[in-house]
Structures are given as structure tokens and as C-alpha cells.
């Protein structure tokens, strides 16, 4: 059995979107407006917590409290939960208990910032199927359903955001792990559930810093609708060639920063 405290410390050390701790453990001071949500309450329609989460994010972004804000906050929420799960699994073979009943998400300045576990628990070793079951069915899908009922982002859009949450984590880890290893792990996760497979496709590109995993989304998170918005590099609203050009530009910038 691996030391779970060491696993969590290693994942947290990666920075965003992998920040994780055990609830009640004092961390470094935070600059900004702090709020938080018990994921179990977010996952229950009628509690008002899904609406509060969207309202909080919309206020900080300066945009209407409607479906686009709902999609954007859920995209960031998914990045945090998926990121922690993927990093622990890829680096240590551990599937953390990221079920909604075990998670509280801290928000800073209106956006998800830190995953807090009520109790540290994990499967050693865990499979891609285990990871997907816990993250999707025991957390993100119920939250998405409550969010859809409250503010109207459609479930295909929100499921696409979950798929992108997994993909974003693998793309980040592809900068420090062999591309072939990361691509194989990403494909295992995508193959574990057709809802993820429909979200997009992976491809590997070669650049100055080596091979990097990329992802082409099938849906859009609606960042363009925010006052500071634009199209993500993997956005479905861009052509294949436009996405490729943005991927290569980011790879070039990464190589210059090394």
C-alpha cells in the first residue's frame, strides 16, 4: 500500500489544476475572496447550491447568470476534479475517492481553486474504469444534472466539459511524462465510457520540446461569451487547421520557456 499522504502531496505539488488537500489541514494563505461548496449539495437539485455556484462565477466574470456562465464554471470545476483524479492515477496507480460525498471544492475569486477531501481514501491499484466510475457517476454527472436543471446548460455540453476536464489533465501531464505513456492512459479513460469518447479525439504532435498530446473537442465551453472570452485552442468552433496552428504555437512557446 502506498502512503496516501505522499500521493496527495505529490499531486498537489504539480500546481493547478491538480491542487488537493484533506479538509481541515491548514494550507498557505490565500489572496482573494474565498468561498466553497460541498459537492454532495451541488449534486442535489433543489438545494440552491448549483444556482449559487453559477451566480458566484458570473458575478466575478461580469456576465449574465445564465447557461453560458453555468458551462464555464462547470468546465473549471471539472478540470479540478478530473485533474486530481488523473494525476493520482497516472503517477501512482491510485484511484482517489472523489465521490461527491467526499469532496468539498474551495473557490477563490469566483472560480474553483482546490479540491478538499473529507477523508483520504483510494484504491491501490485502480483501473481506468474505476477512475471514470467515481469521477463521472459518483460526482460530476450528478452535479451536471443539477446544474442543467437550474440554469439550462444541456447535458451534452456539460458531458463535453467533463471529457475536456480529463483531456486537460492529460495534456498538462504530457509536458512532464512521455507522450506515448500519457496518450495510452488518456485513451484508456476515453474508452471506459462512451460519454467521454463522444467528447473529442486525441492526437500527438511533434514540436521543439518533443511530442505533446493534444485534444480536439466536439463541443464548446462558451468561453467566447464572457467579457474576457475567446476560443480555446481545442475549440470545436475552430477549424482543424486553426486548432493545429494554435497547438503548434503553444508548443513553440513552451520550448522558448524551457
What is the C-alpha to C-alpha distance for residues 86 and 92, in angstroms, rounded to an integer? 10
Retrieve residue 159's grid coordinates.
458531458
Residue 2 pLDDT > 80: no
* CA-derived radius of gyration, the chain: 17
- Which domains occur in the chain, in start order? 4-199 (1.10.510.40)
> Considering the entire predicted model, what is its pTM?
0.95
Short-list 18, 5, 26, CA closest to 114: 18
Look at residue 139 in the predicted model and tell me its pLDDT.
98
Under 8 Å between Cβ of 197 and 132: no
Backbone φ and ψ for 206, nearest 5 degrees, come out as -100, 140
Q: Exposed, middle or buried by CB within 10 Å (0-12, 13-18, 19+), for 205?
A: middle
pLDDT tens column, 158-211: 999 999 999 999 999 999 999 999 999 999 999 999 999 999 999 999 999 899
pLDDT for res 258 = 62
The answer to whether residue 221 scores a pLDDT higher than 60 is yes
Read off the pLDDT of residues 33-79 as tens digits, 9 standing for 90 and up: 999 999 999 999 989 999 999 999 999 999 988 899 999 999 999 99
Q: Can you give 163-223 as a three-state secondary structure string?
A: HHHHHHHHHHHCCCCCHHHHHHHHHHHHHCCHHHHCCEEEEEEEECCEEEEEEEECCCCCH
Spatial CA neighbour of 103 closest among 151, 138, 146, 79: 138
Please identify which residue in the block is written with the cell numbers 468552433. 237
pLDDT at 1 over 70: no
Q: What per-residue confidence (pLDDT) applies to 27?
A: 79
Mean pLDDT, residues 14-20 taken together: 96
110-159 pLDDT per residue, tens: 999 999 999 999 999 999 999 999 999 999 999 999 999 988 889 999 99
Rounded Cα–Cα distance for residues 151 and 247 (Å) = 32
Amino acid at each position: 500500500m502506498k502512503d496516501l499522504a505522499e500521493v496527495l502531496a505529490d499531486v498537489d505539488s504539480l500546481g493547478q489544476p491538480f491542487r488537493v488537500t484533506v479538509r481541515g489541514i491548514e494550507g498557505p494563505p490565500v489572496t482573494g475572496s474565498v468561498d466553497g461548496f460541498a459537492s454532495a449539495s451541488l449534486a442535489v437539485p433543489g438545494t440552491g447550491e448549483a444556482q449559487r455556484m453559477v451566480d458566484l462565477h458570473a458575478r466575478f466574470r461580469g456576465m449574465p447568470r445564465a447557461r453560458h456562465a453555468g458551462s464555464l464554471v462547470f468546465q473549471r470545476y471539472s478540470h479540478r476534479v478530473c485533474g486530481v483524479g488523473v494525476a493520482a492515477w497516472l503517477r501512482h496507480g491510485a484511484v482517489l475517492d472523489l465521490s461527491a460525498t467526499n469532496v468539498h471544492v474551495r473557490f477563490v475569486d469566483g472560480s474553483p481553486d482546490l479540491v478538499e477531501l473529507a477523508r483520504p481514501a483510494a484504491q491501490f491499484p485502480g483501473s481506468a474504469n474505476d477512475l471514470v466510475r467515481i469521477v463521472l457517476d459518483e460526482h460530476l454527472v450528478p452535479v451536471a444534472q443539477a446544474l442543467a436543471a437550474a440554469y439550462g446548460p444541456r447535458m451534452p455540453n456539460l458531458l463535453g466539459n467533463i471529457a475536456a476536464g480529463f483531456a486537460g489533465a492529460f495534456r498538462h501531464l504530457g509536458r512532464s511524462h512521455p507522450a506515448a505513456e500519457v496518450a495510452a492512459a488518456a485513451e484508456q479513460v476515453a474508452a471506459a465510457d462512451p460519454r467521454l469518447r463522444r467528447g473529442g479525439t486525441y492526437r500527438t504532435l511533434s514540436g521543439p520540446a518533443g511530442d505533446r498530446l493534444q485534444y480536439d473537442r466536439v463541443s464548446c465551453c462558451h468561453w467566447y461569451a464572457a467579457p474576457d472570452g475567446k476560443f480555446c485552442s481545442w475549440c470545436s468552433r475552430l477549424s482543424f487547421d486553426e486548432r493545429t496552428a494554435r497547438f503548434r504555437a503553444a508548443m513553440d512557446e513552451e520550448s522558448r520557456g524551457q
